[in-house]
Amino acid sequence: MFLWISAAVTTASAQKFHLPATHTSQHKDLIANQRPMSIKTKAEADRRLLEDVRRREALTDSEIYGEYWESERVNPYGNIAIPATKDIDVSGFVMPVKGPVTSPYGWRARFGRMHRGVDISLRVGDTVRVAFDGKVRLTKYEGKGYGYYVVVRHDNGMETVYGHLSRFLVKPNQRVRAGEPIALGGNTGRSTGPHLHFETRYLGLAINPAAIVDFENFTTHKDVFAFDKSSYEKSQKYGPVRKSLAKKKSRRKATASGKSKRRRR
């Protein structure tokens, strides 16, 4: 009895709220319209953020290029105070070399040190292009490291480094536009095959270029890169932690063999 009533109610309500035949097609239209609409809205939000960042973070040439410019170091900023966060306009990015990444940024256990950039495969003599608008700060040679390398400072406040080059096509203090050829690729310095070593730095800190650049699609992930000091610091703990562990281990060994650390002091 009870079951019968319940079934009857269900049938009745289904009949009562039966949707008009036109609804299905309207609903399909709505779904079809939704996707392009949300992409449009997202693009609009991205554009607004970029405009906001450009207005908010606008720096004059003298602010960017007037300070810490006269330095022969890859990091000219030393231990400058780093802001907790910083929105960086990376919208004008051009891929320096269109090739596959052969070695990522990060701790290299085999060598016991940080790899502060990404390696991109190329052939000797391939054109290397500057990633953003800016001004060339250094063109130098370092036999045991970068080989022939270029450092460019950019209007967005970052610096980029290009290593293992075979030839320079620019000179220090030269203005460059994103995508302009700055060098030819090579295999100079500490390098085991032709490639470009590419670094992205903010106030001297080497940020993982893959956080900014989508290397598979030769473009940036977003028009604005949100630099965050604390997450950067966390990413850097990877290497040093291992080093200190290694030290502790060797200390323990030394203690076990009777050489007390206290006595040595």
Nearer to Zn ion, 96 or 157 (CB): 96
Nearer to Zn ion, 102 or 255 (CB): 102
- Is 116 a residue that touches Zn ion (CB under 5 A)? no
Site string for Zn ion, 38-77 (x = CB under 5 A): ----------------------------------------
Q: Shortest gap between Cβ of 63 and Zn ion (angstroms)?
A: 30
Residue 140: closest CA among 126, 161, 155: 161
Q: Shortest gap between Cβ of 208 and Zn ion (angstroms)?
A: 12
Which part of the chain contacts Zn ion (CB under 5 A), choosing from 60-68, 77-85, 91-99, 118-126? 118-126
Query: Which residue type occupies 233?
Result: E
Number of residues that bind Zn ion (CB under 5 A): 2
Strands 175-176 and 224-228: unpaired
Q: Which two tokens stand for residue 34?
A: 């939704």
CA 114/CA 20 separation, integer angstroms: 65
Q: Are 189 and 147 in contact (CB under 8 A)?
A: yes
Strands (E) in the chain, as ranges, are: 85-89, 101-103, 106-108, 113-115, 118-121, 127-129, 134-142, 147-154, 158-165, 167-168, 175-176, 181-184, 195-202, 205-207, 213-214, 219-220, 224-228
Q: Shortest gap between Cβ of 199 and Zn ion (angstroms)?
A: 8
- Is 119 a residue that touches Zn ion (CB under 5 A)? yes
Site string for Zn ion, 193-232 (x = CB under 5 A): ----x-----------------------------------
Nearer to Zn ion, 119 or 126 (CB): 119
Nearer to Zn ion, 68 or 105 (CB): 105
Q: Are 185 and 164 in contact (CB under 8 A)?
A: yes
Nearer to Zn ion, 64 or 152 (CB): 152
Residues 6+ apart with CB under 8 A from 193: 187
CA 229/CA 249 separation, integer angstroms: 31
Residue whose C-beta lies closest to Zn ion: 197
Q: Shortest gap between Cβ of 168 and Zn ion (angstroms)?
A: 19
Strands 101-103 and 118-121: antiparallel
Site string for Zn ion, 127-156 (x = CB under 5 A): ------------------------------
Which part of the chain contacts Zn ion (CB under 5 A), choosing from 16-24, 34-42, 169-177, 189-197? 189-197
Q: Which two tokens stand for residue 189?
A: 């310095």
Q: Shortest gap between Cβ of 40 and Zn ion (angstroms)?
A: 40
CA 131/CA 94 separation, integer angstroms: 5
CA 186/CA 167 separation, integer angstroms: 8
Which part of the chain contacts Zn ion (CB under 5 A), choosing from 37-45, 83-91, 117-125, 177-185? 117-125
Nearer to Zn ion, 119 or 159 (CB): 119
Binding site for Zn ion (CB under 5 A): 119, 197
